[in-house]
Structure 1
């Protein structure tokens, strides 16, 4: 899956001349933790996050401080503390790449650009949504989790079993388990013959770890 399918295209942004106080108000109003900074042509100049502000100017985010301190936040410009040349992605990048970058750099969102023009933003919440979609969370079907050997024919045998029944495969995910011997397959299927399928999977050597019927 690609970033362009899951990114948010309607992005809350600020100009570099915006004040820190107003940027914080936008974050609170829209319940977001970061805002891209763009110019009039929508070119990405940087990004400002609440974590940046907490470290650099606590008065901007701490309501318990004095009015004098908060007044400072109403005077300081966003470009004073924004991260310049932030990490970015292209719409054609994969979600795996986005997730790996977020994990490596410990960030929760990445601007998406084309020719340095901001076209969206992808966040950890969007990654979670995609993950749930891949796993079929919320589907009314049968979830079967099983282990097979790493032998290259094992997955083919599973599909051969499924092909012999009137079965609709909604989702499939494969995990290598960090093991040289086995891998885990998660299937979500719709079939009136789910029990027969499970029995035959046992017969071909699969180890069924769970069967959940979600209505």
Structure 2
């Protein structure tokens, strides 16, 4: 699960001389909220809908509507853009990309390869990647177990699932403390009646069972 697999390739770009009105129209037309800024083939910034609104005259301004329109018409992307946007390589994992967005409190990353802009990845792209990773659109059963965190526990659980004739869509875990961890299984079945007793006999506590339609 790498950035290159989930980014939007060859994003629409503008130059620093592009008027903010043209930039907004471009965003509206293409249903996007951000535009990388390119000058002479080089990335020099990023402009977002929010940035443009931030630098535009406030409606509470004492300026007349004509003065406001005149000032906005003269503004260019250069007046609103972020000059040093955060960039990542295409071979970065989506987990690292998500952490980077959180650390910088941003909702997108520009993807660079050999000093060339090749894509953009947003929070929405990361959510979609996680949906695919966890198999959330595939129907089945979601099973949560509380288990002792020890070597071989996942292999043992997988063996019991296999013996029940059930396919595992996805496995995830979250540590509860230094002793226990929660193991979440997404199973390609609508019946775990034969599996649950086998798990409990092995000392695995069934915390939650639910079905989902994908």
Matched, 1:132 2:131: yes
Determine helix, strand or coil for the equivalent of 2:87. coil
Matched, 1:27 2:31: no
Instruction: Please show how residues 118-197 of structure 1 align to structure 2 within 5 Å.
Output: 118-177=117-176, 179-191=177-189, 194-197=192-195
Name which of 201, 209, 213 aligns with 1:211.
Answer: 209
Unaligned stretches of 5+ residues in structure 2: none
Unaligned stretches of 5+ residues in structure 1: none
1:153: how far off? Answer: 2.8
Q: TM-score, normalised by structure 1?
A: 0.88
- CA offsets 1:158-193 (integer angstroms, 9 cap, x no match): 11212323221111112223x212111111112476
**Match for residue 18 of structure 2?**
18
Alpha-carbon distance in 1 for matches of 2:165, 2:119: 42
Q: State the superposition RMSD in angstroms.
A: 2.2
Determine helix, strand or coil for the equivalent of 1:155. helix
**Match for residue 39 of structure 2?**
39
1:67: how far off? Answer: 3.3
Q: TM-score, normalised by structure 2?
A: 0.88
Alpha-carbon distance in 2 for matches of 1:180, 1:198: 25
| Superposed structure 1 runs of 4+ greater than 4 Å apart | none
**Match for residue 71 of structure 1?**
70
State the number of aligned residues: 210
**Match for residue 7 of structure 1?**
7
1:59: how far off? Answer: 5.7
